[in-house]
Amino acid sequence: MSQNSAEHDFPAVDLQQLVKQLSYILADDSVLYQEEDLRPYECDGLSAYQQLPLIVALPDTIEQVQKILQLCNKINLPVVARGAGTGLSGGALPYEKGLLLSLGKFNKVIEINQQLQTATVQPGVRNLAISEAVSHLGLYYAPDPSSQIACSIGGNVAENSGGVHSLKYGLTVHNIQQLKIVTIDGELITLGGTGLDSPGYDLLALMTGSEGMLGIIVEVTVKLLPKPKYVQTLLAAFDDVVNAGQAVANIISAGIIPAGLEMMDKLAIQAAEDFVHAGYPLDAEAILICELDGIEDEVTEQVAAIHTILKQSSAIEVRIAKDEQERIVFWKGRKNAFPAVGRLSPDYYCMDGTIPRKRLPQVLKAMEDLSKTYNLAVANVFHAGDGNLHPLILYDASKGQLEKAEELGGKILELCIEVGGTITGEHGVGMEKLNQMCVQFKAAEISQFHALKAAFDPKGLLNPGKAIPTLHRCAELGAMHVQDGKLPHPELERF
């Protein structure tokens, strides 16, 4: 993937001088600047984008973060924050002339409050590690992105991560109570609080999903839930994806909100089956995995109701996991769908559009057509319950197919916007979806985003060039995307 041209201009900084200044704040081994030391930081989970930073800082106290930011603010040095580096949109891609602030050393659980059902943790704590730390109390942290073994909570907040259970339990924004952030001028501020709301604007929500553009998250207090007493999972096969989509609508219409409701299409089913042998029906065009949790009587009742709905929605087969082992097998294929698809092709590119559920058949058909036009296979994995699609475009970079894959991906996202959806449900815009932001938002909206950013970071030092495109970029792109003779941004001067 081609590196995007720098959209900001910052003065060059003398590296030796910077190393010296950082040595007053951090131990020598916490400042990295030799090329071989920088290499591990050159990309996040979207490895098609690569860039070495000028320097990496590894603080382990909030005071150090404050001092680093004060220094960066003073010398106009861009800062990119990084947690576990598992993001899928290039949000933690280093800035060439900037400092990469790794929060990996912030890996401690600070406090668990059983009575209030909260855990206060440092941002580098892994998502799953929170649930593990409170498991003995019968509690857990609900959002479960598929990278939960590795991804850190700071990154989850920065991206507003979801997961397979967000249909019932919400996204990160619904499951956090307080944040401590350091602003670009080095001030430590607390957002949210121990009560259920806080005075002033809802900056806790604003910070969630802001992709490291507004401040550096240095502490997170999450809400914990009691572990469900009883979990039951159904697997249904369909010979037509339209029926599978209708089944999802029928379940929701019946007033049932499952804990998870996932769909896979034929190519994804086959890939998963070849990889983990989950026993998925290979003759199916689509399968649904539906999970219910809660108290046994309630769940049993809902499982029976859903079984009936699935049958009425023309499912060709419905299985109910007979024990925990079978339940895990049902999920195994879904949870390994990405690596499974990865075995089919040298490279794959994961998209993240979200659409109104009723548009699913239409979008699937259009994606099939696009796949043929571009001659690249697309495997589909969805969080069907909340309309979040993860089409996986299969390509071979060594055959020069990357650009074609990116273009196809862009078309799929534009399709999502067209049907009333969005270009990203949970992975973020990062470096990757800047062009599609120009399609989803008007110039005035983009300008409002920039003004909002400037309220926190007037010099634009935090994660420059990410999440929100410049108007210049949108105008240039608009010139390439003339459709039906209409320019998307007629109000802008063309460059």
Partner 1 sequence: MKDKNISDQLQNSVEQAIQTKTKLIIKAGGSKDFYGRTTIGKELNISEHQGIISYEPSELFITVRAGTLLKDIESVLAENNQMLAFEPPAFGDKATIGGTIACNLSGPRRAYSGAARDFVLGTKIINGQAEVLSFGGEVMKNVAGYDVSRLITGALGTLGILLEVSLKVVPKPETEITLVHQLNIDQALLKMHQWSIQSIPISASCYYQNQLTIRLSSTEKYINTLQHLIGGEVLTDADSFWHSVKEQSHHFFDSKKPLWRLSIASNSEITSQNDDTFYEWGGALRWVKTDVSQNHTAEPLNGHISLFRSPIKRNDTFQPLPKHLLQIHRNLKQAFDPHGIFNIGRMYQQF
| Residues in region 338-377 near partner 1 by CB under 8 A | 354-358
Task: Give dist(CA 178, CA 157) in Å, integer.
Answer: 11
Q: With CA atoms as reference, report the closest residue to 53 among 67, 66, 72.
A: 72
Among 98, 162, 391, 464, binds partner 1 (CB under 8 A): 162
- Is the separation of the CB atoms in 479 and 445 below 8 Å? no
Nearest distance from residue 389's CB to partner 1, in Å? 10
Among 201, 322, 480, 495, binds partner 1 (CB under 8 A): 201
Task: Give dist(CA 50, CA 400) in Å, integer.
Answer: 17
Q: Which two tokens stand for residue 238?
A: 């369909």
Among 44, 60, 144, 159, binds partner 1 (CB under 8 A): 159
Nearest distance from residue 165's CB to partner 1, in Å? 12
Nearest distance from residue 231's CB to partner 1, in Å? 12
Nearest distance from residue 418's CB to partner 1, in Å? 13
Among 187, 283, 324, 369, binds partner 1 (CB under 8 A): 187
Task: Give dist(CA 128, CA 335) in Å, integer.
Answer: 15
What burial class does residue 482 get, using C-beta atoms within 10 Å of its C-beta: 0-12 exposed, 13-18 middle, 19+ buried? exposed
Among 61, 63, 132, 193, binds partner 1 (CB under 8 A): 193
What would the x/- binding string for partner 1 be over residues 109 to 128, using CB under 8 A? -----xxxx-----------
* Cα 474 to chain centroid, rounded: 23
Nearest distance from residue 140's CB to partner 1, in Å? 12
Nearest distance from residue 322's CB to partner 1, in Å? 22
Task: Give dist(CA 450, CA 73) in Å, integer.
Answer: 18
- Within residues 33-62, the interface with partner 1 by CB under 8 A covers none
| Helix, strand, coil percentages for the chain (3-state, nearest 5) | 40, 20, 40
Nearest distance from residue 170's CB to partner 1, in Å? 7
Among 144, 386, 432, 476, binds partner 1 (CB under 8 A): 386
3-state SS assignment for residue 281: coil
Q: What is the 3-state secondary structure (H, E, C) of 62-124?
A: HHHHHHHHHHHHHHCCCEEEECCCCCCCCCCCCCCCCEEEECCCCCCEEEEECCCCEEEECCC
| Residues contacting residue 369 through CB under 8 Å, at least 6 positions apart | none
What would the x/- binding string for partner 1 be over residues 400 to 439, using CB under 8 A? --------------------xxxxxxxxxx---x---x--
The answer to whether residue 194 forms part of the interface with partner 1 (CB under 8 A) is yes
Q: Number of residues in contact with partner 1, rule: CB under 8 A? A: 88
The answer to whether residue 206 forms part of the interface with partner 1 (CB under 8 A) is yes
Task: Give dist(CA 157, CA 160) in Å, integer.
Answer: 5
Which DSSP string do the residues of 386-397 spell out, in sequence order?
GTEEEEEEEE-G
- Within residues 225-254, the interface with partner 1 by CB under 8 A covers 226, 228-229, 249-250, 252-253
The answer to whether residue 257 forms part of the interface with partner 1 (CB under 8 A) is yes
Task: Give dist(CA 173, CA 156) in Å, integer.
Answer: 9
Among 11, 36, 255, 323, binds partner 1 (CB under 8 A): 255
Nearest distance from residue 377's CB to partner 1, in Å? 25
Nearest distance from residue 420's CB to partner 1, in Å? 6
Nearest distance from residue 451's CB to partner 1, in Å? 4
- Within residues 453-482, the interface with partner 1 by CB under 8 A covers 453-456, 467-468
The answer to whether residue 200 forms part of the interface with partner 1 (CB under 8 A) is yes
Q: What are the two backbone dihedrals, phi and then psi, of residue 27, each rounded to the nearest 5 degrees? A: -65, 155
H or E, element range at 319: strand 317-320
The answer to whether residue 312 forms part of the interface with partner 1 (CB under 8 A) is no
Among 96, 202, 274, 283, binds partner 1 (CB under 8 A): 202
The answer to whether residue 170 forms part of the interface with partner 1 (CB under 8 A) is yes
Q: Which is nearer to partner 1, 147 or 210 (CB)?
A: 210
